[in-house]
Structure 1
Amino acid sequence: MMIIDRFEGNTAVIETENGIISLPRTELPAEVREGDILIRENGSYIINKEATVKRRRKMSRKLRELLDGNSSPHK
């Protein structure tokens, strides 16, 4: 899995299972944004929209739990 961590100028900083990599923003889809999950297909990077939505929902739920003081995990 590759997750866009942040952008530094025209470079994307990406978290992978093996560590952090940097790629020129021009190699990524124009609409890519922080938190998107990427997959490599046929030599190109594409956004895995389904996985991105699931991850965003999970992170949002965790944030709500922290803010509400609820320590019981949801799956």
Structure 2
Amino acid sequence: MKYIIDRFEGTYAVCEDEMKNMVNIPKYKLPMEVKEGDSLIDDDGIIRINDKEADERRKKVNQMMSKLFK
């Protein structure tokens, strides 16, 4: 399963899954370095950051922002 971190609320990361559902994942299950906007992969209960997808998403957002503010 894949997730995108939307925000943090208390002891949870509020994430969007592949089906566009919002789910709460306890922070203790996540890597220490996660931040909002990171893409995650749940591989049999081990959650890790999907660095490649996260970088692609950041590039896309930066491109949209630069077009918006030109």
Distance in 1 between residues matched to 2:50 and 2:17, nearest whole Å: 14
Q: Greater relative contact order (Cα 8 A, min sep 6): structure 1 or 2?
A: 2
Aligned match of 1:41: 43
> What's the TM-score, normalizing by structure 2?
0.90
What pairs with 1:1-75 in structure 2 (closer than 5 Å)?
A: 1-18=2-19, 19-68=21-70
Distance in 2 between residues matched to 1:46 and 1:4, nearest whole Å: 12
Computed over aligned residues only, the root mean square deviation of the Cα atoms, in angstroms, reads 0.9
Q: CA deviation at 1:65?
A: 0.5
Q: CA deviation at 1:55?
A: 0.6
Pick the structure with greater CA Rg: 1
The share of aligned pairs that are identical, in percent, is: 41
Gaps of 5+ in 2: none
> What's the TM-score, normalizing by structure 1?
0.84
- Number of aligned residue pairs: give it: 68
Query: Any runs of at least 4 consecutive aligned residues in structure 1 with deviations exceeding 2 A, and if so which?
Result: none
Q: CA deviation at 1:17?
A: 2.3
